[in-house]
Amino acid sequence: MFGWLRERRRRAIRTRPFPAEWEEILRRNVRQAAWLDGRDAERLRAWVAVFLSEKRFEGCRGLEITDEVRVSIAGQAGIVMLGFEGELLDRLRSVLVYPGDYLAPKSAPLDGGGELEWREERLGETWAGGSMVLSWPRVVEGGRLRDGPRSVVIHECAHAFDMLDGEVDGVPPLRSPHDARRWASAVDDCQIRFEEALDEGRSVPFDEYAAESPGEFFAVASECFFQDPHRLFRFDQALYELLLEAWRQDPKSRVPTRPR
């Protein structure tokens, strides 16, 4: 019953005219929106409208939440989720936005007992409880393709998507357990090749932070998959095809070879 009512409400939202001011924000802060064909562009607008109606945005450290903030984030997230009809990241309930990078507590156990605690600078994070945290300047940089393959919104959406099957393990939800096992084995080989390239000092297409864990490898590689797909394809065609399977779309077919 509740699912039917929710879908009816979503259909009504999708039929509303997309505000002209939102269109201008997409043009300015979601550069990839300009490369979508007509059908995908309409699907993006519909996704953004529903996402904004269902998620709560909160400004941190005095940041005012405006349509510029909301639409810029929703537009980038919508690009990522284009391959999934009806997937609105329902477990994500709130988006917290800081006016810059922020400090978060971190701890690690000590060998002799006790715990080492410190504060770590962060650009974004995604919590299992249903919240995403983002640095607003990094949102703008990613949306305007000003930071190479990096995008904090894509990175955190990848974590949120990874969580849909229960944990952040670097294996996104796939069609069957067999597909998940096959995919995990293949992407593990890709991570090994990436780490070998780092050890040998060879050029890699995305940040070395990807070597931190399987979950970070998936998230950082996904940034490059959407932001600089041609470079990722040249570096590791097998990894590109695995991400194509995971995200069910082919950004290489729309992103110019020299997007700048």
pLDDT tens-digit readout, 130-157: 999 999 999 999 999 999 999 999 999 9
Residue 119 has pLDDT above 80, yes or no: no
How far apart CA 149 and CA 169 sit, in angstroms, is: 22
* pLDDT > 70: percent of the chain: 97
Residue 120 has pLDDT above 70, yes or no: yes
List CB contacts of 164: < 8 A, sequence separation 6 or more. 89, 91, 172, 173
Average pLDDT over residues 68-97: 96
Domain that holds residue 161: 2-107+115-253
Structure confidence at residue 2 (pLDDT): 59
Contact by Cβ (8 Å): 170, 161: no
Average pLDDT over residues 194-216: 97
How far apart CA 78 and CA 39 sit, in angstroms, is: 14
Average pLDDT over residues 103-115: 75
Residue 240 has pLDDT above 90, yes or no: yes
How far apart CA 216 and CA 50 sit, in angstroms, is: 28
Q: Between 186 and 2, whose confidence is greater?
A: 186
Using alpha carbons only, give the angle 123, 62, 49 rounded to the nearest 5 degrees.
Answer: 70
Contact by Cβ (8 Å): 183, 171: yes
Q: Between 192 and 116, whose confidence is greater?
A: 192
Structure confidence at residue 83 (pLDDT): 96
pLDDT in tens, 150-184: 999 999 999 999 999 888 899 999 989 999 999 99
Residue 69 has pLDDT above 70, yes or no: yes
How far apart CA 32 and CA 30 sit, in angstroms, is: 6
How many helices and strands, by DSSP H and E, does the chain display?
A: 10, 6
pTM of the prediction? Answer: 0.93
Structure confidence at residue 169 (pLDDT): 94
Q: Between 120 and 176, whose confidence is greater?
A: 176
Q: For position 218, which CATH number holds?
A: 3.40.390.10
259 within domain boundaries: no
Neighbours of 218 (CB within 10 A): 26
Residue 86 has pLDDT above 90, yes or no: no
Strand-pairing partners, residue 105, are 119
260 within domain boundaries: no
Residue 254 has pLDDT above 60, yes or no: yes
* pLDDT > 90: percent of the chain: 85
Sign of the torsion formed by the C-alpha atoms of 162, 88, 23 and 71 = negative
pLDDT band at 189 (very low <50, low <70, confident <90, very high): very high
Number of domains in the chain: 1
Residue 75: which of 23, 39, 126 has the closest Cα?
A: 23
Residue 1 has pLDDT above 60, yes or no: no
34 within domain boundaries: yes
258 within domain boundaries: no
List CB contacts of 103: < 8 A, sequence separation 6 or more. 119, 120, 121, 122
Residue 260 has pLDDT above 70, yes or no: no
H or E element: which one contains 196?
helix 177-199
pLDDT in tens, 36-62: 999 999 999 999 999 999 999 999 999
188 within domain boundaries: yes
Structure confidence at residue 112 (pLDDT): 75
Residue 259 has pLDDT above 70, yes or no: no
Average pLDDT over residues 221-250: 98
